[in-house]
Amino acid sequence: MATIRLIRGDITRLPAEAIVNAANSSLRGGGGVDGAIHGAGGPQILRECIKWTEKHGLLPPGEAMYTTGGKLPAKYVIHTVGPVWRGGDNGEDQILANAYKNSLRLAEELGVQQIAFPNISTGIYGFPKERAADIAIRSVAEYLRRGSRINEVFFVCFDKENERIYHEKLGSDTLEIK
């Protein structure tokens, strides 16, 4: 059995085994949660991202890679690129679902049992928050129901609006997945 938990706060302070970064394809840091993770995690994260992109190129939307947590309390940072909202007819829903599922798959490969997600693509990328929450919850729940070693997933909301949306959609601050 796995548990999905909703919390409001700063993902960079969460002592989860892995946190997810809503990154851009260049993995060079940016605004929002990406900038916060790079800032709090220190230069080691950026160095690992640069090394990865020099070898592999840009990280495509929906895909995921990882670095160590640097100075963060998390052991790993899983970087994923969500879609830029372009009206909803350009595969954005599937790309967002893939970002969650590929992050979970990578976490399992790393042996992680606890992972925390921010609200991917709902900031500067403009994905509608309600729609993104539906996709996030559905994608994570489906992944966990298939049988996963991950036993705890956090949705970390930085703002009151996303917290309210996730609370309404989850029905509480905790959801047990069987």
Residues recognised as catalytic: 34
CB-CB contact of 152 with 5 (8 Å): yes
Cα dihedral sign for 127, 73, 104, 151? negative
Pairing type for strands 76-81 and 174-177 reads unpaired
Whose structure tokens read 């309210």?
A: 164
The residues, ordered by sequence, that sit 6+ positions from 147 with a Cβ below 8 Å of its Cβ are: none
Of 65, 17, 14, the residue nearest 40 (C-alpha) = 14
Q: Report how far apart, in Å, the C-alpha atoms of 168 and of each of 10, 104, 110, 114, 130 are.
A: 21, 23, 32, 23, 10
